[in-house]
Amino acid sequence: MGEEKEDLIRYAKTVLEKENIDYFIFGHRHLAMSYKLSQGTEILILGDWINSGNYAEWDGNSLYFRIPG
| CATH H-level superfamily of 7-66 | Metallo-dependent phosphatases (3.60.21.10)
Indicate the pTM of the whole model. 0.81
Higher pLDDT, 55 or 38: 55
Tell me which of 6 and 61 has the higher pLDDT. Answer: 61
Burial of 46 (0-12, 13-18, 19+ CB in 10 A): buried
Question: Does residue 10 contact residue 32 with C-beta atoms inside 8 Å?
Answer: no
- Type of residue numbered 42: E
Phi first, then psi, for residue 31 (nearest 5°) are -145, 120
Cβ-contact 63, 57 below 8 angstroms: yes
